[in-house]
C-alpha cells in the first residue's frame, strides 16, 4: 500500500485527489498494488469535501510520517513549495509536481538532491498541462539530438488570443473567462507577461541540452500589447498571432531560449492550436519534427499528468531508474540573442512614406495601419530598423519561420 500526500488543495491538487479516487480501481489493477491519499496539506479546511478527514495544516505531520512515500506538490509559487519539496526529498520521499516555477528555478538542485537520496523528482505536469511531453522527450526521443523546440506553452494566453481573433473579444473579457475556467495563474501577470511560458521553455530546453537557463534572464515578452488590429493584420498575411516559447541548440551547443508573440504561418501546425490547447513542436536530428498536442491547463488534464508521475513512481519503485540531472546554464552556454534571425512584420501608422529599408517588404493595409513583412534579419538589424521608423512604428513581430 503506497501512502500519498497532496500539498495544496487548489485547482490541480483537488483534481489530483479526484483522479486518484475516480480511477482508483483501474489504476490499482494496472499497478497490481494499492494506494491511499493519506494527507492533504492546505491552510484552509474543506468541511464539505469527501477528503475533509485527510486535511492537515502542519507540513511536519507529512514529513515525519515514514509511511508516506510519495508527495504531490501542487501549491504553486516558490515558497514554501521549494522548501517542502527539498525536505521531502531529503527525507527519502518521492516528489511529483505541476509547479513550473519551482522546477525552472530550483530544478538543478532538486534533481541532484533526489538522486543523492535515491528518490525521484518528476514534473510531467509542469509543462503542457495534460500533454505527455516530458517523459516522451526523455524516453522516446533519447536517440536524437534535439535541435529546436517551438511551443504554445500557456493555455490562458492562447485562450485569450483565440477569443480575440475568432470572437473579437476584448483582452480583459477573455482573461476573466480564462480565470473562471481555472486556467490562469493566481497572479495572471505570470500568464499574460510570458513568465509562465518562459519557465516552461527553459524546462524543455534543459531536457534538450542538459542546461537549465534562468527563466528570469531569457528575453520574455507577453501579449498585453497585442491589439485587435494586430490580429486582423496577421490574418491578412495568412498568419495567426501566438505566444511562442522557442529554444534552439546550435551546432556548437549554445542555447537560445526566449518567449515572444510570433506571427505563425498557416503552414505551421502551431497556427491551428487554439483555445486552451498547447502544442509543442520538437525538431530532432533523427526523427525530424514531432508535435505534442493537448489541453495545456485545467484541473483534470493537469491532474492526469500529476497522477501519471505517481503511477510511474509506484510501478518502478523497486527498479533502478535513470535520474534527471541538469547543470545550471552559464552565460557562456547561451547564444547571443542579438544574432537571432527571422523575418519580421512591422506594423506602422499608414499615411507617411515608407522608409527605403522597407521598400522591398510585402505590404498589407488595414484600419489605418500598414503591415510590412521583411526578409530575415537579426535582432540587431530589427532594432535599428525599428529605431529608423520610430515615429510611425506601432509594433514589430517576429515571424515563426
The residues binding ligand HSE (CB under 6 A) are 129, 154-156, 183-185, 191, 196, 296-297
Q: How far is the CB of 382 from ligand HSE (least distance, A)?
A: 28
Measured in degrees and rounded to the nearest 5, phi and psi for residue 322 equal: -75, 125
Measuring CA to CA, how many Å separate 383 from each of 58, 231, 284, 390? 53, 22, 31, 10
Cα gap 397→226, rounded to integer Å: 10
Q: How far is the CB of 191 from ligand HSE (least distance, A)?
A: 5
Q: Which of 3, 86, 200, 211 is catalytic?
A: 200
Q: How far is the CB of 252 from ligand HSE (least distance, A)?
A: 32
Cα gap 327→348, rounded to integer Å: 43
Please indicate whether residue 200 is annotated as part of the active site: yes
Q: How far is the CB of 257 from ligand HSE (least distance, A)?
A: 18
Measuring CA to CA, how many Å separate 144 from each of 154, 208, 210, 327, 334? 26, 9, 14, 20, 21
Q: Which residue is nearest to ligand HSE (CB)?
A: 156
What is residue 334's DSSP assignment?
B
Residue 48 CA to its chain's centroid (Å): 33
The answer to whether 296 touches 161, Cβ cutoff 8 Å, is no
Q: Which helix (H) or strand (E) holds 146?
A: strand 146-152
Nearer to ligand HSE by Cβ, of 9 and 35: the residue is 9
Nearer to ligand HSE by Cβ, of 210 and 275: the residue is 275
* Cα dihedral 16, 68, 77, 273 sign: negative
Question: Where does residue 79 rank: exposed (0-12), middle (13-18), buried (19+ CB within 10 A)?
Answer: exposed
Nearer to ligand HSE by Cβ, of 191 and 379: the residue is 191
Nearer to ligand HSE by Cβ, of 161 and 370: the residue is 161
Tell me the β-bridge partners of 340: none
Q: How far is the CB of 19 from ligand HSE (least distance, A)?
A: 16
Nearer to ligand HSE by Cβ, of 104 and 156: the residue is 156
Q: How far is the CB of 107 from ligand HSE (least distance, A)?
A: 16
Q: How far is the CB of 205 from ligand HSE (least distance, A)?
A: 17
Closest CA to 244 of 166, 158, 168, 339: 158
Question: Where does residue 5 rank: exposed (0-12), middle (13-18), buried (19+ CB within 10 A)?
Answer: buried
Measuring CA to CA, how many Å separate 247 from each of 94, 136, 199, 238, 277? 29, 17, 12, 24, 20
Closest CA to 23 of 306, 289, 235, 362: 306
Nearer to ligand HSE by Cβ, of 185 and 379: the residue is 185
* Cα dihedral 293, 295, 300, 303 sign: positive
Nearer to ligand HSE by Cβ, of 260 and 369: the residue is 260
Neighbours of 132 (CB within 10 A): 15
Cell 497490481 appears where? 32
* Positions marked catalytic: 200
Amino acid at each position: 500500500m503506497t501512502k500519498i500526500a497532496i500539498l495544496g488543495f487548489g485547482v490541480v491538487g483537488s483534481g489530483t485527489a479526484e483522479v486518484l479516487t475516480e480511477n482508483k480501481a483501474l489504476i490499482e489493477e494496472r499497478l497490481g498494488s494499492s494506494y491511499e491519499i493519506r494527507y492533504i496539506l492546505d491552510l484552509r479546511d474543506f468541511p464539505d469535501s469527501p477528503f475533509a478527514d485527510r486535511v492537515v495544516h502542519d507540513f511536519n505531520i507529512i514529513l515525519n510520517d515514514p509511511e508516506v512515500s510519495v508527495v504531490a506538490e501542487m501549491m504553486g509559487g516558490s515558497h514554501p513549495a521549494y522548501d517542502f519539496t527539498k525536505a521531502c526529498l531529503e527525507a527519502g520521499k518521492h516528489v511529483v509536481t505541476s509547479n513550473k516555477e519551482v522546477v525552472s528555478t530550483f530544478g538543478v538542485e532538486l534533481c541532484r538532491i533526489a538522486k543523492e537520496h535515491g528518490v525521484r523528482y518528476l514534473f510531467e505536469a509542469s509543462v503542457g498541462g495534460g500533454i505527455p511531453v516530458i517523459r516522451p522527450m526523455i524516453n522516446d526521443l533519447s536517440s536524437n539530438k534535439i535541435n529546436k523546440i517551438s511551443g504554445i506553452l500557456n493555455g490562458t494566453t492562447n485562450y485569450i488570443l483565440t477569443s480575440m481573433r475568432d470572437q473579437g473579444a476584448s483582452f480583459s473579457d477573455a482573461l476573466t473567462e480564462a480565470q473562471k475556467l481555472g486556467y490562469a495563474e493566481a497572479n495572471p501577470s505570470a500568464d499574460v507577461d510570458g513568465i509562465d511560458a518562459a519557465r516552461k521553455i527553459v524546462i524543455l530546453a534543459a531536457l534538450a541540452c542538459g542546461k537549465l537557463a534562468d527563466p528570469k534572464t531569457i528575453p520574455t515578452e507577453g501579449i498585453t500589447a497585442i491589439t485587435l488590429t494586430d490580429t486582423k493584420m496577421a490574418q491578412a498575411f495568412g498568419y495567426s498571432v501566438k505566444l511562442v516559447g522557442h529554444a534552439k541548440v546550435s551546432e556548437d551547443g549554445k542555447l537560445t531560449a526566449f518567449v515572444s508573440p510570433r506571427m505563425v504561418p498557416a503552414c505551421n501546425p502551431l497556427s491551428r492550436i487554439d483555445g486552451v490547447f498547447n502544442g509543442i513542436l520538437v525538431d530532432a536530428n533523427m526523427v525530424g519534427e514531432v508535435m505534442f498536442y493537448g489541453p495545456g491547463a485545467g484541473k483534470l488534464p493537469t491532474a492526469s499528468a500529476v497522477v501519471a508521475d505517481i503511477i510511474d513512481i509506484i510501478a518502478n519503485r523497486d527498479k533502478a531508474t535513470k535520474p534527471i540531472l541538469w547543470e545550471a546554464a552559464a552565460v557562456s552556454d547561451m547564444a547571443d540573442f542579438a544574432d537571432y534571425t527571422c523575418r519580421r512584420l512591422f506594423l506602422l501608422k499608414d499615411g507617411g512614406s515608407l522608409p527605403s529599408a522597407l521598400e522591398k517588404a510585402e505590404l498589407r493595409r488595414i484600419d489605418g495601419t500598414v503591415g510590412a513583412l521583411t526578409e530575415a534579419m537579426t535582432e540587431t538589424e530589427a532594432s535599428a530598423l525599428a529605431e529608423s521608423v520610430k515615429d510611425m512604428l506601432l509594433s514589430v513581430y517576429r515571424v515563426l519561420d
